[in-house]
Amino acid sequence: MKRLLILIILICFSNAYCQKFEKLALTPPMGWNSWNKFGCDINEDLIRQTADAMVSSGMKDAGYAYINIDDCWHGERDSLGFIHPDPQRFPSGMKVLADYVHSKGLKLGIYSDAGWKTCGGKPGSRGYEFQDARTYAEWGIDYLKYDWCNTEKLNAEGAYLTMRNALYAAGRPIVLSICEWGSNKPWEWEKNIGHLWRTTGDIYNCFDCIKDHGTWQSWGVMKILDMQKGLREYAGPDYWNDPDMLEVGNGMSVNEDRAHFSMWCMLAAPLIAGNDLRNMSKETLEILTNKEAVAVNQDSLGIQGFKYSEKDSIEIWFKPLVKGDWAMCTLNRGKQPYKFSFDWKNEKVIDDFAKRETKFAEIIYSIRDLWLKKEIGTTKEVLNKDIPGHDVLIMRLIKM
């Protein structure tokens, strides 16, 4: 068996037979990640409790599947170079933890880094890619977030290709989440390497601001949204633009959380919650488990939404859906309420990328408000709605 593994590794170095595991992310991945809320303050009890909460809260039923451990789970490498979890934080070991998560009908994700050290200063995977991939496979890992700290002079495409090949050689299908921050335009070369790739730096739980850390910055929701311009053509089933994890439930207002979640649904972005699932408000849970909004995100066409128009504080976005339906989201980026009016017969929505158009003059659509969860008319009548500040109106236009 060891000889076979060595042979596979040698072949993979030539890129002759190694590839990305396919059909692991035909819709954007949904799950939870420890970093946004807990940072390095993690242990196996937190992960078990979070898995329990994902099931009991209804999030699993809404489509969330991954429990992802971010940075700082690492212990040391042994004399042969194999990585082990921190014995104080994860005394039972990762295999036992993975078995527990799997027993809940969920999947376990883990974190590493393409550099010598992770962003938190723990052992990275540089030079140990095949060993680490084999270890993750033996533990029963289902998802790998692979970061880009401490990667001086590394070629990004080559580094992520190496980990892709290592995962394939290990033999266990594992989703590869590329966290390269968009620095080297991964959308241009990662389609056959990873299943999703970060398009920006880190998100920050603020609606429209920047947090300056000195040598780097993190970005509010609207700043991240603006950075997605021009990227929709690179996304699709099994390869997704990733504008970073959700900050829903981490301190923004309910309106802002609703707008954040709605826009990530319109972007066909991975829905990776980053709050404390064990202690959620009713409003946070309602946002994260809105199955009609999630259905927009998980639509099998896999087409990312686009901005149709903008005026004053208002942006109108459209996203083509299956069976001729559309999602339409009106985003109020301003702080004040806005009286929104939309006369369908005077609007012509054409999506050249998806080769779709609404044809409002010929086709009547029923309009369903996805937050009110009710029908609010058809496209025969002018739509008039008040949209609160930092909020959205998201609708499904159902072809009649």
How long a stretch of residues is the chain?
400
Round to whole Å and give the CA distance between 345 and 360.
6
Overall average pLDDT of the 279-298 stretch: 98
Kindly indicate the confidence band of residue 184, based on its pLDDT and cuts at 50, 70 and 90. Answer: very high
Note the pLDDT of residue 383. Answer: 98
Q: What's the pLDDT score for residue 16?
A: 55
What's the pLDDT tens digit per position in 113-161?
999 999 999 999 999 999 999 999 999 999 999 999 999 999 999 999 9
Q: Which residue matches tokens 């009713």?
A: 282
pLDDT at 186: 97
Assess whether 202 carries a catalytic annotation: yes
pLDDT band at 1 (very low <50, low <70, confident <90, very high): very low
One-character DSSP codes across 351-398? ETTTTEE--TTT--EEEEETTTTEEEEETTS-EEEEE-TTEEEEEEEE
Mean pLDDT of the chain: 96
For strands 30-33 and 66-68, give the pairing: parallel
Is residue 288's pLDDT more than 60? yes
Which of 70, 113, 132, 202 is labelled catalytic? 202
Q: What is the mean pLDDT of residues 334-357?
A: 97
Model confidence at 8: pLDDT above 80 = no
CATH code at 306-399: 2.60.40.1180
Residue type at 195?
Answer: H
Catalytic residue flag (residue 257): no
Element (H, E) at 7: helix 2-13
Q: Which of 70, 142, 147, 325 does the annotation list as catalytic? A: 147
pLDDT attached to residue 12: 66
Residue 39 is predicted with a pLDDT of 98
CA 220 centroid distance within chain: 16
Quote the pLDDT of residue 18: 86
Q: Do domains 20-297 and 306-399 have the same CATH topology?
A: no
pLDDT at 236 over 80: yes
The pLDDT of residue 4 is: 44
CATH number (3.20.20.70, 3.40.50.1860, 3.40.250.10, 3.40.50.300) of 20-297 reads 3.20.20.70
pLDDT digits (tens, 9 = 90+) for 63-87: 999 999 999 999 999 999 999 999 9
Q: Domain locations in the chain?
A: 20-297, 306-399
Q: How confident is the model at residue 345 (pLDDT cuts 50, 70, 90)?
A: very high
Write down the pTM of the prediction: 0.96
Residues 243-254: what's their mean pLDDT? 98
CA torsion 176→182→183→185, rounded to 10°? 90
Residue showing tokens 């890992």? 141
Average pLDDT over residues 321-339: 98
What is the pLDDT, as a whole number, of residue 14? 56
What is the pLDDT averaged over residues 344-370? Answer: 97
